Structure 1
Amino acid sequence: MNPSVQWITLLWMLFSGAAMGMAFDSYRVLAGQLHFPRWSKHALDFLYWVAAALFIFRMLYVTNDGQLRFYVFVGLFIGVWIYFLLWSVITQRFVVMLIQAAKGLLSILYKLFRMLIWNPVRGIFMILLGLLRFLWKFLLSLLRLVLKCLMPFWRLLKWMLKPITSRLKLPAWCKQAANKVIKAWQRWF
């Protein structure tokens, strides 16, 4: 392997180390701000390291056909070290700023959703519900009025059919069902 490929590989490993540090800082700030459950932190750490390893080996494969040398590890270490010396605080503040901006945007979107969609739909639903209640009460009162008007005819019919109905014997289950219907009827009307 010629020296130019080795220097290019070293530079790419410096860049890859810095990218790993940036990804780690971003992940760490996100995990702190979003309060992931404790059990998920281990899985997320594992996923970070798997993704970092795949990224490093992909970069290594692109730059020098995947040959693993000592200077690759030195380049990664120096890249991470330089990143943490120079850019770590800036990255953390930037990620916190992005999280705050995202929270603010989500808060605005939530308020817009409530104001433009949820409250009008809820208001229409409440109006329809009130209208249905009014119609139901109106129909019940109308039915009561009709029943009160028909009550004399019912009593007359009952008096006329009394000789026939007094001789009929209804089964017990029919009487129980009739009693349930009468109780429900009295509850509603």
Structure 2
Amino acid sequence: MNVSLSVQWLTMMTMLLSGIGMGIVFDGYRVVSDELRISRIWVPVFDLLYWIAATIAVFQVLSSSNHGEVRLYVFLGLLLGIGCYYWLFSKLTVRLVKLLIRTIRAIAKLVVQTVNLLIVKPFILLYRLAKLLLAFFRVFTIFLFRIVVQLVRPFWLLLAWMTKPLWRPVFRWWDDRMNPMIAKWRIPDRFKAGVGAVRGFWQRRKSRKDEKKED
């Protein structure tokens, strides 16, 4: 398939621009990987991915310019573009990428500081203030309760003295009837015996498990 001279020049220029683009992307990738301190183990993997992506991109450009025909001027234009880039624009690209990274880091730091100043610190301050108010409210409530108890105590004593004829027979009946019955049933002794039996059963079970583990 014959290709006209204008198409050849167009293809050569597109390959030259593709070579410049490959150089820009490679320098940007190299600076970013250095700034991010990517482990050397992953460098060959990322290099392979870069060359695969660059090959696909160049082939797409070549297909749109001369229907994918590979000629000598294609490689010549690509090499000229890469050479011109590293001769003229490589250092400028590296500086611009580093400046962009520093700018992004400064913006991210400013955002973090702003969030910390406007959200985190006020929230911590409100939390401490609420904690202090709760402590003060608790102390004030206890103090107020003691005052109320002291004020009500005379009325309570007066009420107890006035109702003494009512509740004294109840206490006498309890002392005469219920206390001897409770003493007869020996409820505290039986409770202690039950607790001791449960404790002994648990200790025997634990000792059997220990013996089985030793066997």
2:195 to 169, 172, 187: 172
1:76 to 60, 71, 78: 78
Would the alpha carbon gap of residues 35 and 140 (structure 1) be closer, same or farther in structure 2, given more than 3 Å must change?
Answer: farther
Would the alpha carbon gap of residues 173 and 6 (structure 1) be closer, same or farther in structure 2, given more than 3 Å must change?
Answer: farther
1:29 to 4, 28, 31: 31
Residue ranges of structure 1 left out of the alignment (5+ in a row)? 150-155, 177-189
How far 1:128 moved relative to its partner?
3.2
Would the alpha carbon gap of residues 136 and 67 (structure 1) be closer, same or farther in structure 2, given more than 3 Å must change?
Answer: farther
How far 1:44 moved relative to its partner?
2.0
Q: Which amino acid aligns with 1:51?
A: A
How far 1:174 moved relative to its partner?
10
2:130 to 128, 131, 134: 128
SS of residue in 2 equivalent to 1:118: helix
Distance in structure 1 (CA, Å) of the matches to 2:69 and 2:179:
108
1:55 to 54, 57, 68: 57
Hey, which bits of structure 1, 4+ residues long, moved more than 3 A? 128-142, 159-163, 173-176
Q: Which has the larger radius of gyration?
A: 2
Residue ranges of structure 2 left out of the alignment (5+ in a row)? 154-170, 200-215
CA-to-partner distance for each residue in 1:93-135, whole Å, 9 max, x for gaps?
1111111111111111111111011111222223334445566
Would the alpha carbon gap of residues 69 and 113 (structure 1) be closer, same or farther in structure 2, given more than 3 Å must change?
Answer: same
> How many residues matched?
164
Please, which moves more after superposition, 37-46 or 162-171? 162-171
| TM-score (structure 2 length as normaliser) | 0.65
Would the alpha carbon gap of residues 65 and 138 (structure 1) be closer, same or farther in structure 2, given more than 3 Å must change?
Answer: farther
CA-to-partner distance for each residue in 1:144-166, whole Å, 9 max, x for gaps?
xx9xx9xxxxxx9xx96654166
2:89 is matched with which residue?
87
Distance in structure 1 (CA, Å) of the matches to 2:40 and 2:137:
55
Q: CA RMSD in A?
A: 3.2
2:22 is matched with which residue?
20
Please, which moves more after superposition, 53-62 or 13-22? 53-62
Identity %: 34
1:65 is matched with which residue?
67
